[in-house]
């Protein structure tokens, strides 16, 4: 049948699934087991020091970090309106209890609210978070009547240790955290030596010192404002060595964890390198098997007046066209081939009918018909045949006939 747009659609409709290349060509070296961590840190240890002759007062500079910004780990409490009976609406108590829900700010800085989705609140003040939540409720067509408050402050903290009732970590809340409030949260100062005890504050790599007597005598020192990341240590010793040892130990622990992370990253990189080598080896093995013809492939066969009679391997993962097969095999011989007699022959898919063959004829002498060659999809075991020119057939007959005449004439003359 002639190869036309309609017959191309029919031919391409035959079921065929190209062979796939191995999964190693689609995989990447990532996706390892992740960081393993630094393990347990050693327990801290601080020794007593000798009393100095005097203690210097070094007060940390005044700070004003501005309004509280919500951070990761904080728990915000959302109260919304709920339907209730008249008594409940008048009292407001039961309705408020039923409508209050706490949400923890997750690692990505968002809270997940049912029917609303994830709302980014980290880094926002309470007023900014209310505006963001109001916008999200309106966008989801939910009644934007609500109240928002912070139920738990977990993102900003100050560590208090040393000679206190109970070493603790005090949260920084909406109310500025002062030195006296932080010490009260730790159970107060517990030392009998008021003359040489001191309060030391570690902030941003600097160490500040307030002698205990000065602290008790001056109310303004008691109201020293603390900020996130401060460490307060009540020292009953008399040199900075002990406090410095305490903070150096904290720094050493941080460095230990950092080194553990670096080691974990190195292990992860090594794991990725091993995975990459394994993938490259699997890919190389597959290419070697192809080169040795040890891989099952689907082929199309080119014969007749083609430049190079051969078999054309159908590619992995996609269909190939008649044009792909022709030009991959250097096309047809311009001197001997008859481009008007180009055929694609395909055996019957019906079992037991090897004699039933469909042949599509393409008149390639019309250049516009070659567009059909770019659309005609090939199937395994198709045969592409190009007939010879009539003059080529005649020349070949002569080439076979003339030597026979010469041979016969020579034999007669010899007799």
**pLDDT tens digit sequence for 33-75:** 555 555 555 655 554 445 556 778 899 998 888 888 999 989 9
- What pLDDT score was predicted for residue 93? 47
> Residue 94 — pLDDT band, cuts 50, 70, 90?
very low
Domain 157-238: CATH superfamily, name plus number: Outer membrane lipoprotein wza domain like (3.10.560.10)
What are the tokens at 88? 């409940």
The closest alpha carbon to 74, from 113, 107, 118, 114, belongs to 107
- What pLDDT score was predicted for residue 396? 60
Span 287-293, average pLDDT: 88
Inter-residue contact 388 to 304 (CB < 8 Å): yes
Inter-residue contact 211 to 235 (CB < 8 Å): no
Q: Is the pLDDT of residue 415 over 80?
A: no
> Residue 402 — pLDDT band, cuts 50, 70, 90?
low
Inter-residue contact 236 to 161 (CB < 8 Å): no
What are the tokens at 347? 């055996």
> Residue 95 — pLDDT band, cuts 50, 70, 90?
very low
Mean pLDDT of the chain: 81
- What pLDDT score was predicted for residue 96? 45
* Mean pLDDT comparison of 88-92, 190-194, 235-239, 282-286, highest-scoring range: 282-286
Q: Is the pLDDT of residue 409 over 70?
A: no
Residue 166 φ/ψ region, left for φ over 0, alpha for ψ in the -120 to 50 degree band, beta for the rest = beta
Span 68-90, average pLDDT: 74
Which of 105-119, 234-248, 253-267 has the lowest average pLDDT? 234-248
Residues 157-181 as b/e (b if ≥16 CB within 10 A, e otherwise) read: bbbbbbbbeeebebbbeeeebebeb
CATH for the stretch 297-394: 3.10.560.10
> Residue 260 — pLDDT band, cuts 50, 70, 90?
confident
- What pLDDT score was predicted for residue 361? 92
What are the tokens at 262? 């670096």
Span 246-267, average pLDDT: 77
Q: Where in the chain is the domain with CATH 3.30.1950.10?
A: 75-152
Torsion of Cα atoms, 251 then 253 then 259 then 262, to 10°: -90
pLDDT tens string 309-350: 889 999 999 999 998 988 887 777 777 778 888 999 998 877
- What pLDDT score was predicted for residue 180? 94
Q: Is the pLDDT of residue 369 over 70?
A: yes
Residues 370-402 as b/e (b if ≥16 CB within 10 A, e otherwise) read: bebbeebbbbeebbbbbbbbeebeeeeeeeeee
Q: Is the pLDDT of residue 184 over 90?
A: yes
Q: Where in the chain is the domain with CATH 3.10.560.10?
A: 157-238, 297-394
CA of 178: how far to CAs of 125, 162, 223, in Å? 20, 18, 5
pLDDT tens string 195-226: 778 899 999 889 999 998 889 999 999 999 99
* Mean pLDDT comparison of 128-132, 242-246, 410-414, highest-scoring range: 128-132
- Class in CATH terms, 75-152: alpha beta
pLDDT tens string 102-157: 889 998 889 988 888 888 899 898 899 889 888 888 888 887 788 888 888 888 99
> Residue 24 — pLDDT band, cuts 50, 70, 90?
confident
Q: Is the pLDDT of residue 352 over 80?
A: no
Distance between CA 40 and CA 257 in Å, rounded? 9
């Amino acid at each position: 049948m002639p190869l036309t747009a309609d017959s191309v659609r029919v031919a391409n409709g035959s079921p065929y699934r190209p062979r796939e290349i191995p999964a190693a060509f689609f995989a990447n070296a990532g996706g390892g087991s992740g960081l393993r961590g630094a393990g347990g840190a050693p327990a801290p240890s601080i020794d007593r020091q000798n009393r100095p002759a005097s203690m210097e007062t070094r007060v940390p500079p005044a700070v004003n970090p501005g309004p509280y910004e919500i951070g990761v780990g904080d728990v915000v409490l959302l109260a919304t309106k709920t339907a209730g009976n008249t008594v409940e609406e008048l009292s407001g108590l039961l309705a408020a209890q039923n409508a209050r829900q706490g949400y923890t700010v997750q690692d990505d800085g968002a809270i997940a609210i049912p029917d609303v989705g994830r709302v980014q609140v980290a880094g926002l003040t309470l007023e900014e978070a209310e505006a963001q939540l109001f916008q999200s409720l309106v966008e989801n067509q939910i009644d934007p009547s609500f109240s928002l408050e912070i139920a738990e402050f977990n993102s900003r903290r100050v560590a208090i240790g040393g000679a206190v009732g109970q070493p603790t970590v005090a949260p920084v809340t909406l109310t500025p955290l002062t030195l006296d409030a932080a010490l009260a949260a730790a159970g107060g100062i517990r030392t009998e030596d008021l003359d040489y005890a001191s309060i030391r504050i570690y902030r941003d790599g600097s160490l500040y010192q307030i002698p205990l007597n000065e602290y008790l005598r001056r109310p303004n020192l008691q109201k020293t404002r603390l900020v996130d990341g401060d460490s307060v240590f009540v020292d009953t010793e008399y040199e900075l060595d002990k406090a410095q040892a305490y903070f150096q130990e904290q720094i050493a622990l941080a460095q230990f964890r950092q080194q553990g992370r670096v080691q974990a990253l190195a292990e992860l990189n090594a794991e990725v390198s091993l995975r990459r080598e394994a993938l490259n080896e699997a890919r190389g093995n597959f290419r070697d098997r192809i080169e040795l013809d040890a891989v099952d492939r689907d082929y199309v066969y080119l014969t007749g007046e083609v430049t190079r009679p051969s078999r054309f391997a159908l590619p992995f993962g996609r269909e190939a066209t008649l044009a792909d097969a022709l030009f991959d095999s250097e096309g047809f011989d311009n001197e001997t081939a008859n481009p008007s007699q180009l055929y694609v022959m395909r055996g019957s898919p019906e079992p037991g009918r090897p004699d039933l063959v469909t042949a599509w004829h393409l008149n390639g002498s019309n250049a516009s018909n070659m567009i059909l060659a770019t659309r005609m999809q090939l199937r395994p075991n198709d045969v592409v045949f190009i007939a010879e020119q009539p003059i080529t057939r005649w020349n070949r007959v002569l080439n076979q006939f003339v030597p026979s005449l010469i041979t016969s004439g020579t034999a007669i003359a010899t007799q």
